[in-house]
Amino acid sequence: MNPPDTVPANAFVNVTLSGATKNGVPIHLQRGVPRPNKPFLLDGLSDAVIGKRPPKRLPSKLPPPGDMTLHLSLGTKIGRGRVGRVYEATVDLKQSSPELTNMVLPPLVVKVSRRHDAKRLAREAFYYEEMECLQGCAIPRYYGLYQTTIPPATDFLPWTHDKVNRRPGRHGDYSDESDSESESEPESKSSDKDDDDDAEDEDADSQVYSSDEEELPTPTILSILILERVGGRIPLRKPLSDDVHEDIHTIYADFGRLGVDHCDIRYFNILRAPSSSESPLPSLPSPFTQRTYNWRVVDFDNACKSNMNADFFRGYHHGLLVRLLTNLPWGFLCNTYDIPDHVLKLDSTLK
């Protein structure tokens, strides 16, 4: 008997979400187009450390796009970030395309854009596709970006904490985007007790959008990402093995080979890869080092491509990762990108 086929990343064209509205009406979404941002180009440096442009995306190994339908039941919220919340997702095979019955999917999560952050989530989708060769290896497997519009009268449960009023000029669907965001806590399966001591209060999950205007009477764009479920964080207050250090440093070296700057190295964005008992799909070896990693990196809404070469990236990432990883055994979360506002203001006055 032949083994079942693995579902390719571009197999689905339609996705239905149940359990996402108060009245039980399902949400129907269609495959969306990822949204790239401008590359970050360094100049004035030697040709030995930068190129004229970022490296081109490697050729895709995916088959032609499929036309299958996927029906998912939204479950418990298990994570949150600047631009989205992450939910458990259960595949309903009876309501999905029949050929899916004889194919293999790993456990899935759905990352749902916050109200007015659909564009930012579409930008994250761009980097999952850009790093196709690292899916299932250094980043979670990715099964697409899907979009729809939510009418004003729809009580969409993932947006319960997001107020409708919004001041023009903030990033999102109505204006250019800003990098002023709340702290991220992205996809995770579970948290150890030590992690809970450092977790944010649940109140931090809400984003208040103030405005003098009345509530916006227009439909709001919704974006979702469908991703392989990963989770479990690096243990705090425990020594880290050399393998953990090497895995994570090598993962970021792989990003550098693709010219991708994560721009978000932090504790909450490095999660454990699924074990063989948790997923029917094995971890894949790196196409660059042939090493199989035990960790995955998530949250690419801040990412950009850069013309730094792989060696420059390696040194740049090394300094940031050393600061993060060497402090975890002491219980300190030294996230390089979490600079307090008062420090930024002080720095700006000194220039």
**C-alpha to C-alpha distance for 207 and 211, rounded to whole angstroms:** 13
The dihedrals phi and psi of 212, each to the nearest 5 degrees, come to -85, -5
**C-alpha to C-alpha distance for 60 and 29, rounded to whole angstroms:** 24
For residue 213, how many other CB atoms are within 10 A of its CB? Answer: 11
Average pLDDT over residues 151-178: 61
Q: Is the pLDDT of residue 29 over 50?
A: yes
Handedness of CA 232, 238, 242, 246 (dihedral sign): positive
* pLDDT band (50, 70, 90) for residue 188: very low
Q: Take residue 320 and report the two structure tokens written for it.
A: 């940031």
- Residue 52: per-residue pLDDT: 77
Q: pLDDT of 314-323, one tens digit each?
A: 999 999 999 9
Q: Is the pLDDT of residue 190 over 50?
A: no
- Residue 263: per-residue pLDDT: 92
- Model pTM score: 0.82
For residue 189, how many other CB atoms are within 10 A of its CB? Answer: 18
Closest CA to 281 of 226, 244, 232, 230: 230
In this structure, of 171-175, 218-222, 267-271, 294-298, the range with the lowest mean pLDDT score is 171-175
Phi-psi category of 260—alpha, beta or left, where left has phi over 0 and alpha has psi -120 to 50? beta
CA–CA distance from 277 to each of 142, 198, 273 (Å)? Answer: 20, 28, 11
For residue 50, how many other CB atoms are within 10 A of its CB? Answer: 18
Q: Take residue 22 and report the two structure tokens written for it.
A: 């108060």
The dihedrals phi and psi of 72, each to the nearest 5 degrees, come to -120, 140
Cβ 336 vs Cβ 324: under 8 Å: yes
Q: pLDDT of 231-271, one tens digit each?
A: 899 999 999 999 999 999 999 999 999 999 999 999 999 99
Q: Take residue 76 and report the two structure tokens written for it.
A: 């418990």
**C-alpha to C-alpha distance for 251 and 256, rounded to whole angstroms:** 9
Question: If you count them, how many residues does the chain have?
Answer: 351
Burial letters 73-97, b for 16+ CB under 10 A, else e: bbeeebbbbbbbbbbbbebeeeebb
Average pLDDT over residues 179-201: 38
Residue carrying structure tokens 């070896």: 285
